[in-house]
């Protein structure tokens, strides 16, 4: 039974998230339905990250086992045909060993959070970035971000609904940059807690507007208390951009 690695792009606006659920359309369900139409097989698709409702991806990774072998390009083209008109595209298909797992074989996940920092409302970027009208100090935000690097208990930046067995994670990168009105907060780690990135971004926004000092990020982290976190940033600014594997 061949196993295939899928690299996927999607606009999360109309979806209830990655994971299959009864009361909302999801990316996982759309992919499984496309496979059923093309291959005639009822299968489970496993993703590298369970993105929330409204979160986008330019480099999500999934895997699926099929009964018979397919040419990679034919499978990619057929899935994209059957996914229409859903805002999902399979960018690449690769045959992988049986021990490859999209989630458990991943060694690093990369995210970017996009803020458009201007007075005027968003038109082209609506539902694809967080609109913040108040001026933000990017240098202060980046200074505050550095206090979160490394291995810590991230309870403060963890959703109350997080199912992870431990709040301890190692954050390898967190950087804040600006190009014109666009602010990008880039981060990567082996894995993240539920809502961790959006929670960190919401607190960094407080630093940027001057409500917090950069050192307040360290104090919030040390508190290990969800109430010490700033307002969680909305999902539509967040993108899963890449997943690394040991053989990459």
Burial of 40: CB neighbours in 10 Å, binned 0-12, 13-18, 19+: exposed
d(CA 98, CA 63): 10
d(CA 216, CA 228): 10
Asked if residues 239 and 112 have their Cβ atoms less than 8 Å apart, the reply is yes
Respond yes or no: is residue 52 known to be catalytic: yes
d(CA 187, CA 149): 10
Tokens of 50: 């369970």
**CA-wise closest residue to 59 among 246, 245, 241, 248:** 241
Helix, strand and coil content of the chain, in percent to the nearest 5, comes to 30, 30, 40
Task: Report the chain's C-alpha Rg in angstroms.
Answer: 19
d(CA 192, CA 210): 27
The catalytic site residues sit at 52
């Amino acid at each position: 039974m061949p196993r295939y690695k899928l690299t996927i792009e999607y606009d999360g606006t109309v979806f209830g998230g990655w994971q299959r659920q009864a009361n909302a359309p999801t990316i996982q369900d759309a992919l499984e339905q496309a496979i059923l139409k093309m291959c005639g097989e009822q299968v489970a698709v496993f993703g590298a990250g369970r993105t929330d409702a409204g979160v986008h991806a330019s480099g999500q990774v999934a895997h699926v086992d099929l009964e018979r072998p397919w040419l990679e390009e034919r499978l990619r083209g057929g899935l994209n045909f059957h996914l229409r008109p859903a805002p999902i595209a399979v960018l690449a298909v690769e045959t992988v060993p049986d021990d490859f797992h999209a989630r458990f074989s991943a060694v690093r996940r990369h995210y970017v959070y996009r803020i458009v920092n201007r007075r005027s409302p968003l038109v082209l970027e609506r539902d694809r970035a967080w609109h913040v009208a108040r001026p933000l100090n990017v240098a202060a935000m980046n200074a505050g971000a550095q206090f979160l690097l490394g291995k810590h208990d991230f309870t403060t930046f963890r959703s109350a609904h997080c199912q992870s067995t431990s709040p301890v994670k190692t954050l390898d990168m967190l950087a804040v940059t600006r190009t014109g009105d666009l602010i990008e907060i880039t981060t990567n780690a082996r894995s993240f807690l539920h809502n961790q990135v959006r929670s960190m971004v919401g607190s960094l926004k407080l630093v940027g507007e001057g409500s917090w000092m950069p050192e307040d990020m360290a104090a919030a982290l040390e508190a290990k208390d969800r109430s010490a976190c700033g307002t969680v940033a909305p999902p539509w600014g967040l993108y899963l951009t890449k997943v690394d594997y040991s053989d990459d």
